[in-house]
Structure 1
Amino acid sequence: MGKARQKKRRGNLQTPRFEITVVLGVGHGEASLDAEVEIAKSAVLYADHVRIASPRLFAVIAAMELSTVTPQTLSKALKRAVRHGGDTLRPVAEDAQAIWEALDALPPRHALTAAERKEKTALLRNFNQGLEGLRTTARRNLDECLATPLIPAINAGLISLDPLVSEEESFDDLPDDLLLQRYVDRVKSTLADQRTYPLFDATTAHLADLGVEAGEFSRSNRFNLRALNAASGTGLVERLPSFDGADMSEIVDIRKELDAPLARFRRSVEETASDLPESPADPDFEPSLDHLWLTKVSPAIEEIRERVQQDASLRRLSMRALPAAAGQVAAVGGLSATGLAIAAASHPNYIWAALAASVSVGPTIASVASERSRALNQAQNMPFYFLYRSGVSLERRRR
């Protein structure tokens, strides 16, 4: 096989997507989605895609559709808001839908009578006012239930929401036992799904354990490994010093910047997870993860920080040596100091080659450059560089 063919085949290889399915129960009985948001933040930073399944998401999806409604999505968004909008959104959506249907019932523009044109003008004015009020109500609902932070990740295609209710159904008309059965079925299917990494809240994890003990659910050793990797990876991300203050848009930006370090971090998580209890539901899991952070992860991040600082020190050293080196190379190579400085600014690799040609200064500068490159490459290739770089990015964005 030729080299060109081998190169093409290697280029077609893709890293498998790391997908996390987060299944959550009714939580603490409140409308707030703070738990979903916090879990989603760490999952988005760790995974390629996150699906959140929870019976508490039905009204959130309706509000999100209305907050960004377009003429193409208006009819669908109004129908969903009427079915799933809850006590605050539904009445406003019903009024807007009634006006929309009245507009739709009018004849085509060319067939309108003078009275009908006047009626249509009034209906359009009322509809536009009602639609703006609907958007305002939807945004207020999202803010009140703390769901607004999810929007950047949803728009970026990193999160999808599964409310366990179809578009054609009305949430209020569904029996509680049917919703509960769907929630249980979702837990069961997630346990058996080999394509995703499960992440459960405490209530759902307890349900999963009960189902397995009763023989109603089945999970393989592969499930235990997948669940452990998801819980370990997101758990370590959550322990970043500035993570609590980060918003979702910052998480999305950082996630896009760190693909290569993230792949190494995932491999490291798989290796270190063997030191943890077999199940994230184990009461000792969180203390064990804290111990792992203190004994392995935090020291590794500190070592990376020292290596990066070493690179900064070497960079300062090279900048101090540059003026003297420029003068000597100008004498040896026939270049003016000004010309060399311009060449250095435009072609940084050229300056090191030119300086290396100098008998007295070249070896020193070349050594500094080589040490700089080696220190930085070593840091970037370390397994926990992803956590270090994420933490630095979060700290900078908080300033």
Structure 2
Amino acid sequence: MGKTSRRPSRQNRKSFGTTGSGLTVTIGASPQTKINGQPSFAGELRLLKSSLLYADHLDLLAPSAAWRDTLTPLLHTNTANPLLTVAKLPNETLQRLGVTKISPQEFREALRKLAATPPNHPQRREAEALWRPAILKLKKEATDYLHTPEGLELDIALETGAVTLISDGTRFEDSLDQQLEWFRDRLTQALGAPSATVLLDQVSTEYLRATADYTEGLPSVAGNRSRRSALGTGLVERLPAFPESPMSHILEAREELTEGRAAYRESVKALASKLQSSALDETLPSEIDEMWNDQVRPTLEELRKSATKTRVAVETGKRLSTEGYGVPTLLVAVANFTDLAAALPTPAAALAAVGRIAAAAAQEAFSTRTAVRNHDLVYLLDINKKLGKRSGR
């Protein structure tokens, strides 16, 4: 049958925030469903997209997505040889199908023995008659669950290796109460990890706020990290080009702007220190809104204008130097002062003045560009520019 999944295998770690170098953020996304009863990954995707532009690695803790790895092999099953196709499913998938009373190895061996008997063997025919319709049903359920636009977007993120799906200990057939209990346990575990940074959606935040263990808020270090992650990703989400950007564009921007992420996180530390709300406060989202509107957005607009002026100045200089304008015309274009040429006594003096004006303009343009590139928030400007280009805006 070939490979069961195009995605590289990933170990579901029980230690949060410990992957490689750089910053790992654990995303806590509560289950959501659509009107048709199918799980919605909209919340997970929003948090994933902004976090991919903030952190170096992500642990996705989301009950709605936790079963994806074990359901994916079902997409590759077929009814032509039902016994062997089921025997090739991985252990976790077999356990999801209810193979719990015997080991997956014993179950596979039994299926292989049946598949080796003659085609008209009564037990083989009976087993194949049971598995053929079951395979069709399971494959359809897996397709309906995984092959949605949201599901495919999630797959793109998982295939990068930058996202680890936390799924140990939960099953597709578990009740809602069991799934929520699993989610709460893993969320508490993530918050207790010494090096973990947790990013929570609204429902998860409300749950923690109502939990006895967190009535006083999160521990100091965990609280500060979570507040920073909420601010850092929240500012990304408020960029004009962000909301409509597909996952592929997000990942391209992430790869091209790798060097800017660490510097951006340093600037977020300074901004987060100005917030009065804690990580679990209801007022945190509104404070981030206020900071965006009053401080960040105006700053980005000024940076954009400065960058635009610099680019225009540089391009104008290039054009004037190659198009062979006469001295008076060149003066008018560079200095934007129509009487300057007439005020100069000789063409030689005029040419010298042009040289001084052009040199001063080049120096000013360089200084302006340097100031823009060195600004704390230029990373946000770069993200918006790259996402905007890809969306055609």
TM-score with structure 1 setting the length: 0.68
Q: 1:162 aligns with which of 150, 161, 166?
A: 166
Cα distance in 2, alignment partners of residues 101 and 365 from structure 1: 84
1:1-399 correspondence to structure 2 within 5 Å: 17-27=22-32, 30=37, 31-66=39-74, 77=89, 79-84=91-96, 138-144=142-148, 146-165=150-169, 170-172=171-173, 174=174, 179-213=179-213, 219-323=218-322, 363-399=356-392
Q: Counterpart of 2:243 in 1: which secondary structure?
A: helix
Identity percentage of aligned residues: 23
CA contact (8 A) 1:63 1:85 kept: no
Call closer, same or farther: CA 1:196–1:306 in 2, change over 3 Å.
same
Cα distance in 1, alignment partners of residues 51 and 97 from structure 2: 27
Cα distance in 2, alignment partners of residues 62 and 321 from structure 1: 63
Cα distance in 1, alignment partners of residues 296 and 109 from structure 2: 58
Cα distance in 2, alignment partners of residues 113 and 213 from structure 1: 62
Call closer, same or farther: CA 1:102–1:251 in 2, change over 3 Å.
same
Letter in 2 for 1:198: V
CA contact (8 A) 1:53 1:164 kept: no
CA contact (8 A) 1:164 1:182 kept: no
Letter in 2 for 1:161: L
Q: CA deviation at 1:78?
A: 5.2
Q: Write the deviation string for residues 70-106 of structure 1: whole angstroms up to 9, x where unpaired.
A: xxx99675554454479xxx9xxxxxxx999756766
Q: Counterpart of 1:295 in 2: which secondary structure?
A: helix
CA contact (8 A) 1:32 1:145 kept: no
Residues paired across the two proteins, number: 325
Call closer, same or farther: CA 1:361–1:224 in 2, change over 3 Å.
same
Q: CA deviation at 1:17?
A: 1.0
Q: Counterpart of 2:211 in 1: which secondary structure?
A: helix
Cα distance in 2, alignment partners of residues 134 and 79 from structure 1: 16
Letter in 2 for 1:398: S
Q: Counterpart of 2:229 in 1: which secondary structure?
A: helix
Cα distance in 2, alignment partners of residues 283 and 136 from structure 1: 41
Of Structure 1 and Structure 2, the greater helix share is in: 1
Could you list the runs of 5+ residues in structure 2 that have no partner in the other structure? 1-19, 78-84, 100-106, 328-350
Letter in 1 for 2:22: R
Letter in 1 for 2:237: E
CA contact (8 A) 2:70 2:92 kept: yes
Cα distance in 2, alignment partners of residues 155 and 193 from structure 1: 26
Deviates more, 1:245-254 or 1:366-375: 366-375
Cα distance in 1, alignment partners of residues 256 and 49 from structure 2: 16
Q: CA deviation at 1:304?
A: 1.2
Q: Counterpart of 1:198 in 2: which secondary structure?
A: strand
Q: Write the deviation string for residues 287-310 of structure 1: whole angstroms up to 9, x where unpaired.
A: 111110011100111111012111
Q: Write the deviation string for residues 108-139 of structure 1: whole angstroms up to 9, x where unpaired.
A: xxxx99999xx9xxx9xx99xx9999777644
What does residue 344 of structure 1 align with? none
Deviates more, 1:27-36 or 1:146-155: 27-36
Call closer, same or farther: CA 1:249–1:68 in 2, change over 3 Å.
farther
Could you list the runs of 5+ residues in structure 1 that have no partner in the other structure? 1-14, 91-97, 329-357
Call closer, same or farther: CA 1:394–1:64 in 2, change over 3 Å.
farther
Cα distance in 2, alignment partners of residues 327 and 63 from structure 1: 72
What does residue 352 of structure 1 align with? none
Cα distance in 2, alignment partners of residues 389 and 74 from structure 1: 49
Call closer, same or farther: CA 1:260–1:114 in 2, change over 3 Å.
closer
Letter in 2 for 1:318: G
Q: Counterpart of 2:26 in 1: which secondary structure?
A: strand
CA contact (8 A) 1:62 1:85 kept: no
What does residue 6 of structure 1 align with? none
Superposition RMSD in Å: 4.1
Cα distance in 2, alignment partners of residues 379 and 53 from structure 1: 37
Deviates more, 1:234-243 or 1:60-69: 60-69
Cα distance in 2, alignment partners of residues 385 and 211 from structure 1: 39
Q: CA deviation at 1:198?
A: 0.6
